Amino acid sequence: MALKNEYLSNLLETVKKRNAAEPEFIQAVTEVLESLEPVVEKRPDLVEAGVFERLVEPERQLMFRVPWVDDQGKVQVNRGFRVQFSSAIGPYKGGIRLHPSVYLGIIKFLGFEQVLKNSLTTLPMGGGKGGSDFDPKGKSDGEIMRFCQSFMTELYRHIGADTDVPAGDIGTGAREVGYMYGQYKRLANEFTGILTGKGLTYGGSLVRTEATGYGLCYFTDVMLKANGKSFEGQTVVVSGSGNVSIYAVEKAVEMGAKVVAMSDSNGYIHDPNGIDLACVKQLKEVERRRIKDYVDTHPGATYKEGSTGIWTIPCDIALPCATQNEIDKASAEILVKNGCYCVSEGANMPSTPEAIEVYLANGVLYGPAKAANAGGVATSGLEMSQNSARLSWTFEEVDQKLKNIMHNIFKNCDETAKAYGMEGNYMAGANIAGFLKVAEAMKAQGCV
C-alpha cells in the first residue's frame, strides 16, 4: 500500500534514506505511517509540532564493545546495543535480545514498536530496546555469566529505575537477567528496580514469566468473542518454544483449545493428539534441548526440519510467537486456504506486510503484535510499581491486572479503528491509539 499523503510520503522517503541498511526498521515505520494517514488529516497541530519527524528518530542510540573470555581462555568480542527511543511518557522500557542476527536495525525496529506498545498498556513507560549479536546457544553457564557481566559493565551507566529499565527478550531469560542484575548491583552499589523479569527472591513479580503468553491469549480471547468466536474446541498452531510460546500454549489449552504444533529455529513438531506441554517445558526450560527430541517420547508426533513449514499444518487459530517475518505471503495464503480465521501475534512483527495484506483481504481476525503481546511489558510495568512501593502482589492480583490491561487494549484498538472508519482493523487501531498518547505528550513537552 503506497502512502497517499504527501507529507507522510516525504517523511518515509527521508526515513528510508537515513536508515537504508535497516530493512526491519523501515518495515516497522512504514506500517505505522500508513496507519497514521487519517491522523495527519485530522491533527494538523501534531504536524506543526513536528511530532511525526521526531517519532521516527530515536532519542539516543548506544553501541559498545562487549569483551568476554570463553571456557578455552580465549577473548571474544561482541557488539552491544541500547536504543533509547522515546521517553515522552515514561522511562525507556524494553527488553534485551541476545541472538546472532542482532544489529542496529533489529534493535531500532523493536524499540520503535515498543514506544507504541508501551503507550497502549496505559502505564507510564517510554520505549527502548537493547541487545547483542552474542549467541547464547551452546554456551556454558560460566560463559553466559561472563558475557552478561561484561554487557552490564557498559550498560549500567546508561540505565536506572527512573531512566531506562531493560528486561528479557529472545535469548535473555531469568538466568541472564539474574547475572545482569548482580553485576549492576555490584557496580552501582544500590538495590533498585533497574531490570524487570527478575527472580522472585530479589524483586521480581509473580506472573512476569507467564505474562506475554497469557496476555496474548487474554487479548485473543476478547478479540474472538467480539467476533462471535472463542478458543473452545479450536485447533491452534503456536510457533517457537520459548518463553512466549510456552505460556501461550498453557493459557490457550486452559481456554479450551487444542494446540497441535510448536517449533524452534531448526524445525517443528506436529502432535495431532495435542502438545504435551510438560515435556516441552522440561526440554526447553530445564534441559535447553532442541524441539526435535520431543518425538523420542511421543511416537504419535512427527518432526520436520525448517521452521516455516509449521504454517502448512491446518489450524483455526495461529499464534506466531518466535521471531520477526516468520509468516510471509505464501505462508499466510496457506493458512487461509486451510481455514485459519485468526492470527494473533506473540512475537514482534512476525508477519511480513504482504502477509498482513492477505489477512485483511480475507477477513482474518488479526491481532497485531504491539497490542497482542503487550502483556509482557505491562507486567514489567507492574513489577516496577511493586519495586517502587517495596511490595509484592499475589499471583491472582497481578493476573487480574494483566487481564484488565489486555481487555482495555483490545477495547482501545477496536474503538479507535471504528472512530477512524476502519472497523475491525485492529492494526490501524493499535497504531493510532498508541501514537496519540505519545504524540500528545510530545506536543505538551515542546521541541525536545
Ligand X SMILES: O=C(O)CCC(=O)C(=O)O
Ligand Y SMILES: NC(=O)C1=CN([C@@H]2O[C@H](COP(=O)(O)OP(=O)(O)OC[C@H]3O[C@@H](n4cnc5c(N)ncnc54)[C@H](O)[C@@H]3O)[C@@H](O)[C@H]2O)C=CC1
Assess contact for 175 and 144: CB atoms under 8 A: yes
Contacts of 108 (CB under 8 A, 6+ apart): 19, 22, 24, 25, 58, 61, 83, 85, 129
With respect to ligand Y, which residue has the nearer C-beta, 263 or 331? Answer: 263
Contacts of 117 (CB under 8 A, 6+ apart): 127, 369, 370, 371, 373, 374, 377, 434
* Residue 212 counted as an annotated binding residue: yes
Distance, C-alpha 88 to centroid of its chain = 20
**Nearest residue to ligand Y, using CB?**
242
Work out whether 220 is an interface residue with ligand Y (CB under 6 A). no
Segment near ligand X (CB under 6 A), from 182-190, 373-381, 385-393, 416-424? 373-381
Work out whether 95 is an interface residue with ligand X (CB under 6 A). yes
Segment near ligand Y (CB under 6 A), from 9-17, 316-324, 330-338, 388-396? 316-324
User: Which of 105, 128, 131, 168 lies at the binding interface for ligand Y (CB under 6 A)?
Assistant: 168
Work out whether 376 is an interface residue with ligand X (CB under 6 A). yes
Assess contact for 291 and 269: CB atoms under 8 A: yes
Could you identify the residue written with the cell 524499540?
Answer: 111
Work out whether 346 is an interface residue with ligand X (CB under 6 A). no
- The cell numbers describing 95, all together, are 527488553
- Identify the CA nearest to 220 among candidates 430, 116, 371, 106: 371
Binding letters toward ligand X, positions 65-94, x by CB under 6 A: ----------------------------xx
Contacts of 440 (CB under 8 A, 6+ apart): none
Segment near ligand Y (CB under 6 A), from 155-163, 167-175, 227-235, 332-340? 167-175
With respect to ligand X, which residue has the nearer C-beta, 209 or 235? Answer: 209
Work out whether 102 is an interface residue with ligand Y (CB under 6 A). no
Catalytic residue among 108, 129, 258, 370: 129
* Shortest CB 383 distance to ligand X, Å: 8
Task: Please report the DSSP string for 347-387 in residue order.
Answer: SSS-B-HHHHHHHHHTT-EEE-HHHHTTHHHHHHHHHHHHH
The verdict on whether 129 is a catalytic residue reads yes
* Residue 93 counted as an annotated binding residue: yes
Work out whether 34 is an interface residue with ligand X (CB under 6 A). no
Contacts of 278 (CB under 8 A, 6+ apart): none
Work out whether 347 is an interface residue with ligand X (CB under 6 A). no
Work out whether 234 is an interface residue with ligand X (CB under 6 A). no
Work out whether 332 is an interface residue with ligand Y (CB under 6 A). no
Work out whether 171 is an interface residue with ligand Y (CB under 6 A). yes
Work out whether 308 is an interface residue with ligand X (CB under 6 A). no
The site that binds ligand Y (CB under 6 A) totals a number of residues, namely 26
End-to-end CA distance of the chain: 32
User: Which of 29, 152, 155, 167 lies at the binding interface for ligand X (CB under 6 A)?
Assistant: 167
User: Which of 87, 149, 220, 348 lies at the binding interface for ligand X (CB under 6 A)?
Assistant: 348
- Identify the CA nearest to 31 among candidates 296, 351, 332: 351
* Residue 282 counted as an annotated binding residue: no
339: left (phi over 0), alpha (psi -120 to 50) or beta: left
CB neighbour burial string for 22-60, b if at least 16 within 10 angstroms, e if fewer: bebbbbbbbbbbbbbbebbeebeebbebebbebbbebbe
Could you identify the residue written with the cell 506441554?
Answer: 277
* Residue 445 counted as an annotated binding residue: no
**Residues binding ligand Y (CB under 6 A):** 168-171, 173, 212, 239-245, 263-265, 307, 321-323, 326, 346-348, 373, 376
Cite the annotated binding site for NAD(+) by residue number. 212, 243
Catalytic machinery residues: 129
Cite the annotated binding site for substrate by residue number. 93, 114, 117, 168, 380
